[in-house]
Structure 1
């Protein structure tokens, strides 16, 4: 059993994904969502935002529940633009985990930091957890992060994910399964593309991932 699967890219927006986006507050328009998402309890603690730069952008708050933590290594490159890209990449990851682990009518940060194919794949990924009645707890480590600034306000970020210290949790009973042995699938490699939008936010627009990535061991 996988502790938490890698986020896979998808090509088209399915009906199920569209419904998931709406439920997570990532749909178009100002709909507040009429149904509460069932999942990991409502109690959560604020997750500090990355301190890349004081850009004066009004950002949605991201809260991860107690027991869920992301550790990002190598956040300061010495280049202000690269640091801003990394910071928004971090926020995108946190927004995704918030949508999976926190029970709420909306998750506005999800659409704030993702768009295009990345938002679609996020919806599919999140829906998979709810369909399975599962969530997760523990610490996920992100490392070997590299930023490449491309032309016309675009950038690429690659990184490794170590989920060997995370454990699946039943959404209803809150029972955590800590019996799963470590495996190569706990290590994944991600290749993401980001574009700066009109607000100055570096949104992730596409994501590809490889489970059991040798370069991440």
Structure 2
């Protein structure tokens, strides 16, 4: 049985995989032994949206998900402006990862905008896995129990839960969605992430630790 999107994994990660994220193209997902994301050099490619200035004056790349893909974030307004800014960039990082996995585009600039270091490597690993397997996904992913903790070195830790019980695998070539996959404990994950503010004022995610089948995230 086809596993849910949250559990689709890439093969061995290489530096070339990260570089290829600047050219995530469409196609049937067959990597043909290449480290590049499948379809990056063939077929028509949709241009990524141009950057726009946000309320804080920072020029950020637009993130646009397919109509049948949605991320829902609980919380986000803590009453602390700094925490809210951190949670906002955490949301954007998550959505940039979803975009890289589901949108066939010439470039996905938001992924590198909100991730760096080990987090960028893991993001490349995750996104490339979908292309290599010829898969994408549809449905709604929920993120909840989100908390921010300030660290002594000026960085911040953001922890949260992820629920993918309402997402389903989709064949990238045929467009067929498999809605027969039942919900299970594997649909619940817990994340512990580190964010560091860069010189441009962006809270970039630098490391990500994941616990699958997370009891603390189950209803």
- Specify if TM > 0.5: yes
Instruction: Give the TM-score normalised by structure 1.
Output: 0.83
Measure, in 1, the Cα distance between the counterparts of 2:8 and 2:91. Answer: 15
Deviation at 1:63, TM superposition (A): 0.3
Judged with a 3 Å threshold, the aligned counterparts in structure 2 of structure 1 residues 63 and 197 are, in CA distance, closer, same or farther, namely same
Equivalent in the alignment of 1:17: 17
Cα displacement string for residues 109-152 of structure 1 (whole angstroms, at most 9, x for unaligned residues)? 00000000000010011111000000000000000001001134
Q: How many residues align?
A: 199
Return the alpha-carbon distance in structure 1 between the equivalents of residues 153 and 69 of structure 2.
Answer: 36
The 5 Å alignment of 1:37-186 reads 54-186=55-187
Question: Is 1:193–1:206's contact at 8 Å kept on the other side of the alignment?
Answer: yes
TM-aligned CA deviation for residue 14 of structure 1: 1.6
Task: State the shift of 1:2 in Å.
Answer: 2.5
Report the CA distance between 1:24 and its aligned residue: 3.9
Distance in 2, matches of 1:154 and 1:7, equals 30
Maintained 8 Å contact 2:73/2:143: yes
**C-alpha distance after superposition, 1:137-169 (max 9, x if no partner):** 000000000100113431000000000000000
Aligned-partner SS, 2:6: coil
CA RMSD after TM alignment: 2.8
**Secondary structure in 1 matching 2:70:** strand
Q: Hey, what's the Cα distance between the residues in 1 that align with 2:212 and 2:177?
A: 23
Structure 2: gaps of 5 or more residues:
26-38
Q: Distance in 2 between matches of 1:152 and 1:13?
A: 29
User: Which of structure 1's runs of 4+ aligned residues deviate more than 6 A?
Assistant: none
User: Are the equivalent residues in 1 in contact too, given 2:150–2:157 (CA < 8 A)?
Assistant: yes
